[in-house]
Amino acid sequence: MSDRVKTITMDIVEAVRDVMRKHDVTFAEYRAGVGHLIKTQEAKEIPLLLDVFLNSTVVEIENRQRDGSKAAIQGPYFREGAPRVNDSLAIRPEDEDQPRMVMRGRVTDLGGSPVADAVIDVWHSTPEGRYSGVHGNIPIEYYRGKITTDENGRYECRSILPVPYQIPNQGPTGELLEKHMGGHSWRPAHIHYWVHAEGMRDLISQAYFEGDKYIEDDSCNGGGTEFMVPEAYEDGVRVMEVDFRLDPAAVRA
Ligand code: DHB
Ligand code: FE
């Protein structure tokens, strides 16, 4: 038996009971809630439902224990085994005319010293707001890659621009967000990062594009302007300059 599982489970049940008492929940309302969860399970949307409401809270708790760059939500679309890339992610032939970006920045330790040979997994959406290896049959090598930092801790890699993304909204989770809660299911355009370096604590982050209206109205509470990159261009290419300050890995006793 795990004391922690027992304690947390009891606290969840007590918190839900308190909400039910506060609102005098009726038996019909209780049945409707159970019915909604059954629909969510049948649509295989339990991970989506939990991520929409609770992923950001786990990130918030993790960030209390980090001194360097703050972490952001991972989202469901990271895939292992992305190719190592040099100066550009693979771009689909049909996207050749899309607007471009360059991702660049520095990885350092807490003292500001460069971290060489850090590996940054990056992944982002297509211009239709879909992810390779996940949606339709977009081959997984597109818009994903592992970038390595040089001896000064610098990285640089080009790609096309991602776009605002609408989480699946045709099922029960979309119905809950849009119809019952009067909200929406959009996320700002974003780049995902997962930074790994020897002796350092992993960092999962995101970057948003200044001017995107969903940054502060994000259906997944993705951290807002803290992760926004100011608008800047070089020869018409959007520059996404993002530095990462890594905490040391926890030393195990
Ligand atoms: C979802 C998709 C994302 O790309 C993301 O970053 C977060 C959440 C989603 O579909 O739930
Ligand atoms: Fe995403």
Pocket (CB within 6 angstroms of ligand 1): 48, 51, 73, 75-77, 165, 167, 187, 220
Q: Which of 170, 194, 220 to mutate to test the pocket of ligand 1 (most atoms within 8 A of CB)?
A: 220
Residue 252: the pLDDT is 63
Confirm if 125 and 95 have CB atoms less than 8 A apart. Answer: no
Residue 143: the pLDDT is 97
What pairing do the DSSP bridges indicate for beta strands 237-241 and 100-109? parallel
Residue 168: the pLDDT is 86
Question: Which of helix, strand or coil describes residue 193?
Answer: strand
Interval 75-108: pLDDT, tens: 989 999 899 998 999 999 999 999 999 999 999 9
- CA–CA separation, 216 and 232 (whole Å): 20
Per-residue tokens: 162: 């991602």
Length of the chain: 253
Query: In Å, how far from its chain's centre is CA 124?
Result: 10
Nearest ligand to the C-alpha atom of residue 76: 1
> ipTM score of the complex?
0.94
The CB-side HSE value for 100 (13 A sphere, CA atoms) comes to 17
- CA–CA separation, 217 and 225 (whole Å): 10
Residue 63: the pLDDT is 96
Given a cut of 50, the residues of the chain with pLDDT beneath it are: none
Return the CA Rg of the chain: 20
The CB-side HSE value for 188 (13 A sphere, CA atoms) comes to 25
- CA–CA separation, 76 and 49 (whole Å): 12
pTM for the full model?
A: 0.91
